[in-house]
């Protein structure tokens, strides 16, 4: 064999080795998730274990919502603090990604809620007589002893001229109830689109009492507990790989086949809720547009960039960027040029959105958030998804070890401090009870169910606490706020009477934060860091709300590294 032949063979061998190396490098994908047992997802589902996540393409934005990608920001960093009340102590916070309504909930959307509740829980039924009444907004918030606003009292909620205006007159309690209802309606629609549920609206089953009490949690726990046990409402399930057992009869034509939807399918929507104060302020500030490399330049006074409330764009020069009160007796400006177009609230999306795509985060209406109010944000507080208001609960279990579902025909009610009667749980929903000390025994992350006053006046947080019990409460309190006597009348409801003891503050565990300036506020309150509070059972003509839902999985689907990584040997 001559030298040239040897060189050619060597070249061929080197080429083959390079090809093998490249192939092996390509197959070694560090991002690929492998089975630790050797069982594939198909093998698992075929024998009844958890179904494979194959085909899951990630969470999609719910209708009317936009993704707010999480990150870090300085909460409470205001430009002006003319009140000097130290109510907005700056503190660095990390926020998780979430989806948020791009606008406030409008009158038309809330009217759908009212119509649904009236049909499913008719007020003329003695079992449901207080349910519909409990969700109606307080339209009398427009009244003023020295003002003439009866037109708004009679028309603002229901007239089509105000259909796309933000709903007002809604208390924090009512806004929270709406979020729960929305969760169930969204998931009910998902199941109908998937073919799991029959088209309930076409069947006119809304008017059949006891039938359309769909509840997401109840469906996940026990689908047969819904619709008053009527299984014919279920059309077909998701495909199941479970083979039919030997001798097992084939399902009858028209009966439910397959399996019900599980959390592991990634089909159902996460719960809707009110945003936390941290989430709302982070979304409103949208500091992402002030980012320079990995830092943020300066402070943001409003939801938009800049220090002023007027438009700098050449085409719209001088126009107001939000709907707010410009001065005493001046709610809109002089007619014509630069008038903001609204003496009260205004149609949503009338102004430009902020950098996250959210409208009216400064102006139009202030908005409820989920937090219980405290005067100071503590620098030592949790810096990850901060929230005050946790009451940890667990599902209620009966004597037979089954989860308790609210009965379809007997509703338990509670009376709020302002005399309004609200249901404790809607028919068909899962009942909850606070966790016990036994449940929290030897845990290092929480010790009790009620954590609203954690590190803020409870016995565990200060040695100067007044240990004597309040005469109207069974436990000591830090804040000397009014307390309604809980005297039960002959009708079974709490009597309406005032607290006669001298009180020095309105702050209590029922005080909820609301954020953002409104049509009725001066420019000062447009700063997203500003914060105010109101009892959770009260409503005004300048507070509305919007919903959020959690982002499940990664903060974003933007790739942080390529699918394959080159490996050098």
What pLDDT is attached to residue 6? 67
* pLDDT value, residue 208: 56
Which of 314, 499, 519 shows the shortest CA–CA distance to 418?
Answer: 499
Token pair for 280 = 């709302």
Q: Which DSSP helix (H) or strand (E) runs through 66?
A: strand 65-68
Q: What is the DSSP string of 94-128?
A: EE--EEEESSPPBHHHHHHHHHHHHHHS-TTSTTT
Model pLDDT, residue 526: 92
Radius of gyration in angstroms for the set of CA atoms belonging to the chain, rounded to a whole number: 29
| Arithmetic mean of pLDDT, 390-407 | 91
SS3 category, 135: helix
Residue with tokens 């990604």: 97
What is the model's pLDDT at position 391?
95
> Is it the case that residue 183 has pLDDT exceeding 70?
yes
Burial class, 258, CB count within 10 angstroms (exposed 0-12 / middle 13-18 / buried 19+): middle
Average pLDDT estimate for 420-437: 91
Question: Per-residue pLDDT tens for 121-136?
Answer: 989 988 888 999 999 9
In angstroms, the CA 389 to CA 509 distance is 8
Confidence at residue 12, expressed as pLDDT on a 0 to 100 scale: 67
Give the SS3 label for residue 371: strand
pLDDT band, residue 566 (cuts 50/70/90) = very low
pTM (two decimals)? 0.88
Mean pLDDT throughout 154-177? 96
Compare 104 and 245 and report the one with higher pLDDT. Answer: 104
Residue 213 tokens read as 């009490």
Higher-confidence residue of 72 and 380: namely 72
Least confident among 238-252, 391-405, 502-516:
238-252
Checking if the pLDDT of 502 tops 80, the result is: yes
Whole-number Cα distances in Å, 227 to 121, 218, 222: 14, 11, 11
Specify which of 51-60, 294-303, 396-405, 501-510 reaches the highest per-range mean pLDDT.
396-405
The pLDDT value given to residue 291: 74
The rounded distance, in Å, linking the Cα atoms of 476 and 469 is 4
pLDDT score at 252: 66
What pLDDT, on a 0 to 100 scale, did the predictor assign at position 565?
Answer: 43
Mean pLDDT of 539-554: 95
How sure is the predictor about 538, in pLDDT bands with cuts at 50, 70 and 90? very high
Domain spans in the chain, listed from the N-terminal domain onward: 1-32
- State pLDDT tens for residues 485-500: 777 666 666 777 788 8
Cβ atoms 66, 357 nearer than 8 A: yes
**Confidence band (pLDDT; 50, 70, 90) for 567?**
very low
């Amino acid at each position: 064999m001559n030298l040239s032949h040897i060189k050619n063979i060597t070249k061929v061998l080197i080429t083959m080795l390079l090809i093998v190396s490249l192939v092996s490098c390509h197959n070694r994908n560090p991002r690929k998730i492998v089975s630790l047992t050797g069982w594939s997802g198909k093998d698992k589902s075929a024998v009844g274990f958890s179904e494979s996540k194959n085909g899951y393409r990630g969470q999609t934005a719910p209708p009317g919502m936009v993704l707010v990608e999480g990150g870090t920001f300085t909460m409470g960093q205001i430009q002006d603090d003319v009140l000097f009340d130290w109510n907005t102590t700056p503190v660095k916070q990390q926020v998780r990604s979430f989806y948020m309504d791009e606008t406030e909930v409008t009158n038309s959307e809330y009217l759908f809620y009212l119509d649904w509740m009236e049909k499913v829980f008719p007020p003329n039924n003695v079992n449901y007589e207080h349910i519909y009444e409990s969700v109606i907004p307080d339209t009398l918030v427009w009244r003023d002893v020295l003002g003439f606003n009866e037109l708004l009292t009679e028309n603002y909620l229901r007239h089509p001229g105000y259909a796309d205006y933000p709903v007002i007159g809604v208390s924090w309690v009512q806004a929270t109830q709406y979020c729960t209802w929305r969760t169930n309606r969204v998931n009910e629609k998902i199941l109908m689109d998937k073919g799991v549920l029959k088209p309930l609206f076409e069947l006119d089953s809304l008017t059949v009492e006891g039938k359309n009490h769909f509840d997401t949690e109840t469906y996940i726990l026990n689908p047969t507990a819904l619709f008053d046990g009527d299984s014919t409402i279920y059309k077909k399930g998701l495909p199941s790989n479970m083979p039919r057992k030997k001798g097992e009869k084939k399902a009858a034509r028209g009966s439910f086949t397959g399996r019900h939807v599980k959390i592991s399918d990634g089909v159902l929507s996460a719960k809707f809720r009110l945003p936390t104060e941290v989430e709302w302020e982070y979304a409103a500030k949208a500091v992402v547009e002030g980012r320079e490399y990995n830092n943020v330049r300066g402070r943001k006074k409003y939801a938009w960039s800049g220090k002023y409330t007027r438009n700098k764009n050449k085409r719209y020069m001088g126009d107001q960027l939000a709907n707010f009160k410009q001065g005493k007796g001046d709610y809109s400006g002089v007619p014509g040029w630069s008038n903001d177009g609204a003496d009260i609230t205004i149609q949503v999306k009338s102004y430009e959105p902020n950098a996250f795509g959210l409208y009216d985060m400064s102006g139009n209406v202030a908005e409820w958030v989920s937090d219980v109010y405290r005067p100071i944000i503590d620098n030592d507080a949790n810096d990850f998804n901060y929230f005050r208001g946790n009451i940890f609960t667990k599902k209620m279990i009966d004597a037979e070890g089954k989860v308790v579902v609210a009965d379809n025909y007997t509703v338990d009610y509670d009376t709020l401090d302002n005399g309004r009667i609200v249901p404790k749980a809607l028919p068909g929903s899962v009942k909850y009870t606070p966790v016990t000390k036994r449940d929290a025994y030897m845990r290092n992350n929480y010790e009790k169910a009620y954590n609203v006053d954690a590190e803020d006046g409870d016995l565990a947080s200060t040695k100067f606490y007044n240990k004597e019990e309040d005469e109207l409460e069974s436990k000591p309190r830090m804040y000397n706020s009014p307390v309604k006597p809980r005297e039960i009348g002959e009708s079974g409801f709490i009597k309406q009477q005032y607290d006669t003891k001298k009180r020095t503050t309105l702050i209590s565990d029922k005080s909820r934060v609301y954020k953002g300036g409104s049509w009725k506020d001066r420019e000062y309150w447009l700063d997203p860091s500003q914060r105010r509070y109101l009892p959770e059972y009260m409503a005004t003509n300048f507070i509305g709300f919007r919903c959020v839902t959690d982002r499940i999985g990664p903060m974003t689907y933007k790739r942080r590294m390529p699918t394959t990584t080159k490996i050098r040997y």
